[in-house]
Structure 1
Amino acid sequence: MKSLSTPGGNGLDYNLYDGGLNEISLDSKTIINTINQYSYCIAQEDTEFREALKGSDILLPDGEGVVLAERFLTGKKINKISGSDIHIHLLTELNK
């Protein structure tokens, strides 16, 4: 699994997924969450929510604000993957 690590608070301080949907293994239980600008702001005040996001196996960048902030802060380009994208992908793959 690919992820974009931002150690030391150099980026958004979240381990954002930067792989493709087809790279997500369906062979084992995986905790997938999404983060967007709004959830990022909520997580700044809600410690339990923040820890849930950080504890995800995969944290999808579900917002252009998150994608742009990560690029601005780290110079690394990641793609937005919305919650509906992963939902459709999982339903399609598991229906095969």
Structure 2
Amino acid sequence: MLTAIDKTPVLHHNSIMVASLNDGGNMQVRVIVGAQAAYACISHESGTLDVRLNPGRSARKSMKERAAELREKAAELTRRAALIENAAELVD
């Protein structure tokens, strides 16, 4: 469960709202809402990842939707890789 680091979101002079959250361990999520787009900036022990959030949805729902999209793409790539491996057995 993520918990808030900042009790209230911070509004900066350039109209970007930042809310920082962490899991008490090695992951931190900053939700940045600007005039044109919103992002979840994820920091973890092996790097960082920025996720553009879908308009009109909560950060949680948007991130879960993006994760599902990536899983679908990964499954398709896995199927293609298996096909290529199988086809490789047919050639010298």
Fold shared, TM-score > 0.5 on shorter chain? no
Select the structure that is richer in strand. 2
Calculate the TM-score normalised by the size of structure 1. 0.28
TM-score normalised to the size of structure 2? 0.29
Q: Greater RCO between the two (CA within 8 Å, min separation 6)?
A: 1
Higher share in helix: 1
